[in-house]
Amino acid sequence: MATLDGKKILVIATNYGVEQDEIVVPVEQLRERGATVTVAAQETGAIQTLVGDKDPGKTVDPDTTIGGVSAQGFDALVVPGGTINADTIRTDKQAVSLVAAFVAADKPVAAICHGPWTLVEAGVLPGRTITSFPSLQTDVRNAGAEWVDREVQVDGGIITSRNPDDLPAFVDAIESALTA
């Protein structure tokens, strides 16, 4: 039996600009560990990933739309980065509401790289300690959180990492949060 059998994880992204490894790696590895992973995008069409925010990467077919899901049916939420993805998704009221709903329900929310911008918008950071891509430090502090430079930071149900190099620790922390 895999460690995450029976766990349902939601991954949200825009249809353009998500950092390839920050969506592909968690989806693949969490599925390998037994989780049912649902990818929700803003629209039904394919998600065009980018590598390094500029070069086209793989396309990912979403299972549903952000508007078609709620926190109720899932055990955890993953918010990948990519500057374009994160800057766009933080203006999506449904995505921001999903983050807030997961936090309110004490369900793990994992955000990597620029993904924590959505946590800033959801107003869930006051009093917490998180990490992110370094350029978000001021935004994180202005949102009432302490920023630290670590490969993974877990504060309650909030799991954050800095960049694709941190993916092994990021995925392990998601697993740990769901098996604790």
Residues with catalytic roles: 113-114
Evaluated on CA atoms 122, 126, 127, 133, the torsion sign reads: positive
Sign of CA dihedral 163, 159, 11, 122: negative
DSSP-derived secondary structure for the chain: --TTTT-EEEEEE-SEEEEHHHHHHHHHHHHHTT-EEEEEESSSSPEEEEETTTEEEEEE--SEEGGG--GGG-SEEEE---HHHHHHHTT-HHHHHHHHHHHHTT--EEEETTTHHHHHHHT--TT-EE---GGGHHHHHHTT-EE---S-EEETTEEEESSGGGHHHHHHHHHHHHH-
